Amino acid sequence: MGLQLHCFPVTAPVQAQPPSFSIGEFRASLGMFATGVTIVTARAANGTLVGLTANSFNSVSLDPPLVLWSLARSAASMAALRTGSHYAVNILAADQKSLAERFATKNVDRWRDVAYTEGIGGAPVLVGAAASFECFNRSRYDEGDHVIFVGEVERCSHRAGASPLLFHGGRFYTEHPL
C-alpha cells in the first residue's frame, strides 16, 4: 500500500470587510442594548483616587472568577488603571443615578462627598452600590480604540433587594423603560 498525501491549498487569511455604516449609526445600534451601569474605581500609585462611569461590564468565568470591562485609550485615567494592581467595579443601584452622571463628567470633583470603604489594593468600594467586585488587574487587551481589562475577583458583595440603574438609548433609567 502506498502512502497517500492530501494537499490543501494555502489561502490568505480572511479579514473583515470595511464597515457599511457610520460611527453614529454604530453608536445608535449599540444603544439599543440595555445595560447596567458601573463605576470603576482605583487608587493611583501617587494615592489619588480614580473613578469613571462604565457600562461595558460583563462576566467572563466562574472558576476562576473573572469579569471584564473596557476603557477608551484616550481616557485620562488610563495610566493609573493600566499599571495599577487592583480596581473595583461597583454596579450602581437605581438611587445612584447622580453618581453615574458625576463620574461620567469631565473636570468635576468626582469624589466630593462620596462615601466609600477602602478595598483590596486601595481601590474604593462605593457605599450603597447594588454590587461590588474587588479585582486583581489580571490582564489587558488592546483592541481598536479601547483597552479590555480582565479582572480576577478577589472579593465581591451585593445589596439584597437593590434595583439596578439601567442605561439604554443614551439615557439612564431608574425603572425599566416600557
User: Nearest 5°: phi and psi at 108?
Assistant: -130, 160
For domain 36-173, give its CATH number from 2.30.110.10, 3.40.50.720, 3.60.20.30, 1.20.58.220.
Answer: 2.30.110.10
Q: Does 1 score more than 60 pLDDT?
A: no
For the stretch 16-26, pLDDT in tens is 888 899 999 99
Band the pLDDT of 175: cuts 50, 70, 90: confident
Using one digit for the tens of pLDDT, what is the confidence trace for 76-93?
Answer: 999 999 999 999 999 999
Closest CA to 72 of 94, 56, 88: 56
Q: Where are the domains of the chain?
A: 36-173
For the chain, give the percent of residues with pLDDT over 90: 80
Instruction: Give the pLDDT band (50/70/90) at residue 14.
Output: confident
82's CB contacts (< 8 A; 6+ apart) are 140, 147
70: pLDDT strictly greater than 70: yes
| pLDDT of 11 | 74
Cell numbers for 120, please give them: 483590596
**Sheet strands (E) in the chain:** 35-36, 38-43, 49-54, 57-61, 66-72, 86-91, 116-118, 124-126, 131-143, 146-158, 166-168, 171-173
This prediction has a pTM of 0.88
7 pLDDT band (50/70/90 cuts)? low
